[in-house]
Copies of this chain bind each other. A is one copy, B any other.
Amino acid sequence: MTCMQKPTGAHALVRRTHEDRVLRALQANGAMSRGEIAQIVGLSRTTLSEITGNLLQRGAIIVVDTDAARRGGSGRPAERLALDPASAQFMGVDFGHRRVHVAIADASHEIMVSGSVRYDDTASWQTRTELALALVDRLSSQAGVRHGALQGIGIGVPGPYPAPVGVAQPRATPGATILRPAPEGVDVAFAERFDAPVIVDNNTRLAALAEAITGADSVADLLYVRLADGVGGGLVIGGQLVTGSTGLAGELGHVTVEPVGRPCRCGKRGCLETVASVPGILATCWEFGLRLNGPEALADAVARQHPVAERVLRGAAAALGRVLGAATMTLNPAKVVIGGEIARLSPVLVEQVAATLAGELFPIAAAGPVVEAARLSDEDGALGALAAVFHNSPLLAKYPGTADVKDRSDGSDPTPERAAHVRS
């Protein structure tokens, strides 16, 4: 994943850094006069006027009132500026196999609005893109969100995403370059529509980043695996998302765990995916005589602690634990996260992975990684895409704490469900 900004010289870079500091000062302190802001961020009045002029023009901040009522002395009252609560700054879009999720965040990284819309898994990229853009419009108009100041759009797509990862610029931008198209132009569609830079990456990888940087105990080294229709993975190493030399890093699902196992859709046999994906788990249940007709039936069997389902899950988890054990020996992560609905539903699965992994670890590594189920659900994919935008901004990245995915609904709810939310 790379982030290409609009062509900027050193001056523009400095200006955007200043802008960011001004936005953060307003976020931390609420409405302030230009003089108060200048003092806090350490800029001259002249420079600050330029910065605030630009932010006002972009719609990122607004004039809320003057300090006339509160000032004692004489002279012209000073305008007080504040973040525009209706101005979106970041957008995250997550295209799953059957649904697209969107989350829109303000300058302080708080979710302003989020929602999702279904499509058929045979839908073309053009259809998916149109549905996603219509969803953004609907969500934004319902919540009164404006897009004039969008700084970046992150887009997650299913499946391996080759490097160099696509970053589209609005075509109107002089010197704009499209490094590599996302699946059938979704990146270009968003870049043109919102006149903002777009980052595209595999959505499992984006989820890994979101898990690494979400919450108070963010970690620099994290191994993420998601059990769903397939088994995907993502790595964060040294605080950076790893894409690998050809964009294929994290393909844990195709490590061989049973040399003479079931055929895998990749062409090999006995890949982890044939054992630990939801279809793989269902197939093993059938082999043991437990005929479940789909993920819902599996969830139900897990909820009832059906002994066959639990045995099959332990077997899948043991295979997963061996693969994660080898990967942990290689990478020495601080945390191993298991994503996907099944991991959330089945404590047995996470427990068995942790046990197998502990057995695999180098005994002198007394403290192995934390092993846990993902905190963000599959429904939160757009948060991963948002995290990518936050994380990849070289300007934002310099400021501690800017990489957090925050939720305006005060933190008591780990998902953005409390924000204005539309599903269709």
Contact = CB atoms under 8 A, between A and B. Distances in A.
B326 A248 contact: no
Given A237-B237, A256-B322, A256-B325, A246 B332 contact: yes
A327 B330 contact: yes
A284 to B, nearest CB: 20
A251 B329 contact: yes
A91 interface: no
Interface residues of A, number: 44
Given A237-B237, A244-B221, A325-B255, A250 B362 contact: no
Given A268-B363, A363-B266, A363-B267, A331 B254 contact: no
Total copies of the chain:
2
Contacts of A160: 364
A245 B330 contact: no
A38 interface: no
Interface string A226-241: 0000000101011010
Given A251-B332, A327-B326, A245 B221 contact: yes
A243 B252 CA distance: 21
Contacts of A154: none
Contacts of A369: 245
A333 interface: yes
Contacts of A323: 326
A330 B360 contact: no
A361 to B, nearest CB: 8
A322 B134 CA distance: 47
Contacts of A360: 255-256, 268
A367 interface: yes
Nearest to A248: B332
Contacts of A235: 330-331
A150 to B, nearest CB: 28
Contacts of A419: none
A43 interface: no
A290 interface: no
A219 B238 contact: no
Contact of A244 (B256, B333, B363): B333
A365 interface: yes
A393 to B, nearest CB: 18
Contacts of A326: 255-256, 323, 326-327
A332 B249 contact: yes
A308 interface: no
Given A246-B332, A252-B329, 20 more contacts: A220-B245, A221-B244, A235-B330, A237-B237, A246-B367, A249-B331, A250-B330, A251-B329, A251-B330, A251-B365, A252-B330, A254-B329, A255-B326, A255-B329, A256-B325, A256-B326, A266-B362, A268-B360, A268-B363, A323-B326
11 contacts: A233-B330, A244-B333, A245-B334, A246-B367, A248-B329, A248-B332, A249-B330, A251-B330, A254-B362, A256-B360, A323-B326
